[in-house]
């Protein structure tokens, strides 16, 4: 039980730290109009065109205020939005050139971190793969709990 609780705490803390790392990088670059959650959203959408509903389904966005963040990113010029011709309730979004530039900044930050973990001998590729496999198993277990157990 203790290991499980430690893992939960660590996952939560790592997510908050990731947001702080992005915030720090943006402040360093004087990018003040986008918050870290919005930056991750842009990064995860990448070159895809998606609906708001797909953002959660595909795991691109975990928050409850997706509409607010999408509207904000559209208003700031980081995303285009277009109503579906078939279902007028559905809106598809994709990154603008400005959004792709911000996504590239986040991608560069992540690449620098991945390289730093390796070059400083903190984690090699095999260790990172094992962490990823373990977290995917945990994700699958939790997903099954939501879907199949009441």
pLDDT tens profile 122-141: 999 999 999 999 999 998 99
Alpha helices in the chain (DSSP H): 2-28, 36-45, 52-57, 66-75, 97-119, 125-148
Count of domains in the chain?
A: 1
Within a domain: 4: yes
Is the pLDDT higher at 83 or at 31? 31
- What was the pLDDT predicted at 41? 92
Q: 50 in helix, strand or coil?
A: strand
User: Do 106 and 40 contact (CB within 8 A), yes or no?
Assistant: yes
Q: What is the CATH number of the domain that holds 127?
A: 1.10.10.10
- What was the pLDDT predicted at 150? 55
pLDDT at 20 over 90: yes
Within a domain: 150: no
Within a domain: 123: yes
User: Do 61 and 41 contact (CB within 8 A), yes or no?
Assistant: yes
pLDDT tens profile 44-89: 999 998 887 788 777 777 666 788 888 899 999 999 988 777 776 7
């Amino acid at each position: 039980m203790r290991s499980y609780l430690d893992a939960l705490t660590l996952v939560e803390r790592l997510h908050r730290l990731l947001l702080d790392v992005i915030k720090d990088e943006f402040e360093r670059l004087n990018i003040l109009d986008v918050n870290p959650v919005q930056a991750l959203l842009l990064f995860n959408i990448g070159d895809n065109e998606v609906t708001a509903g797909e953002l959660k389904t595909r795991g691109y966005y975990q928050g409850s205020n997706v509409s607010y963040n999408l509207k904000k990113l559209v208003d700031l010029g980081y995303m285009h939005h277009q109503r579906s011709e078939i279902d007028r309730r559905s809106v598809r979004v994709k990154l603008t050139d400005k959004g792709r530039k911000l996504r590239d900044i986040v991608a560069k930050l992540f690449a620098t971190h991945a390289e730093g973990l390796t070059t400083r001998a903190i984690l090699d590729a095999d260790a990172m793969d094992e962490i990823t496999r373990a977290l995917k198993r945990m994700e699958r277990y939790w997903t099954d709990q939501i879907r199949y157990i009441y």
